[in-house]
């Protein structure tokens, strides 16, 4: 399985990340710049996490409440990811579904993002945290900094047991 690595260094405001996104495609946001920066704050320290390109099938149809306590992608990470993914592949994310985020709004609602092909834009909106939609889910992430350490031999063994091919890179 291919994981994408996203680093949020916290140097830009969320509105600045959205502005970068708008350089590549249309963006529609429920929140104005001031609200984006208020509700989706930059991390105090840089974070690096990795995740799958799509929402895992076992997470589709679950509500944000169902996924409480699981590490999920943040709003900011999603914006960074869609720009990075576009630059690398010229493909959009979430063509057939949407991703809700770790972030909760002050009233408990949950933000989500997705590509709307008919409108040719990325849209950011909200829904109730208990709502379930068959094509929506949280994109689970694993913090690299919190991953347990192991030897190279142990890592190769785990990869092989998972059916992955391990190749030496020169």
Domain ranges of the chain: 3-161
Q: Shortest CA distance to 55 belongs to which of 44, 69, 70?
A: 70
| Residue 48 CB coordination number (10 Å) | 12
For the chain, list residues with pLDDT below 70.
1-2, 142-152, 154-155, 157-159, 161-164, 167-170
What's the pTM value of the predicted model, to 2 decimals?
A: 0.81
Compute the C-alpha angle 43/47/52, nearest 5°: 120
Cα 81 to its chain centre, rounded Å, is 6
Q: What percent of the chain has a predicted confidence (pLDDT) above 90?
A: 58
Predicted local distance difference test score (pLDDT) of residue 146? 43
Question: Rounded to an integer, what distance in angstroms lies between the CA atom of residue 154 and that of residue 86?
Answer: 34
DSSP H helices, 10-91, are 14-22, 33-39, 75-89
Predicted local distance difference test score (pLDDT) of residue 2? 65
């Amino acid at each position: 399985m291919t994981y994408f690595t996203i680093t949020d260094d916290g140097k830009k405001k969320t509105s600045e990340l959205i502005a970068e996104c708008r350089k590549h495609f249309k963006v529609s946001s429920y929140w104005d710049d001031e609200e984006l920066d208020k509700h989706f704050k930059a991390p105090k320290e840089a974070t690096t996490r990795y995740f799958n390109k799509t929402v895992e099938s076992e997470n589709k149809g679950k509500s944000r409440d169902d996924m409480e306590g699981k590490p999920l992608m943040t709003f900011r990470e999603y914006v960074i990811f869609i720009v990075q993914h576009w630059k690398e592949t010229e493909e959009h994310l979430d063509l057939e579904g949407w991703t809700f985020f770790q972030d909760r709004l002050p009233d408990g609602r949950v933000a989500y993002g997705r590509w709307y092909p008919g409108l040719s834009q990325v849209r950011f909106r909200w829904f109730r945290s208990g709502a379930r939609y068959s094509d929506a889910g949280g994109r689970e992430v694993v913090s690299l900094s919190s991953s347990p350490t192991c030897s190279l031999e142990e890592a190769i063994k785990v990869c092989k047991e998972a059916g992955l091919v391990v190749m030496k890179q020169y």
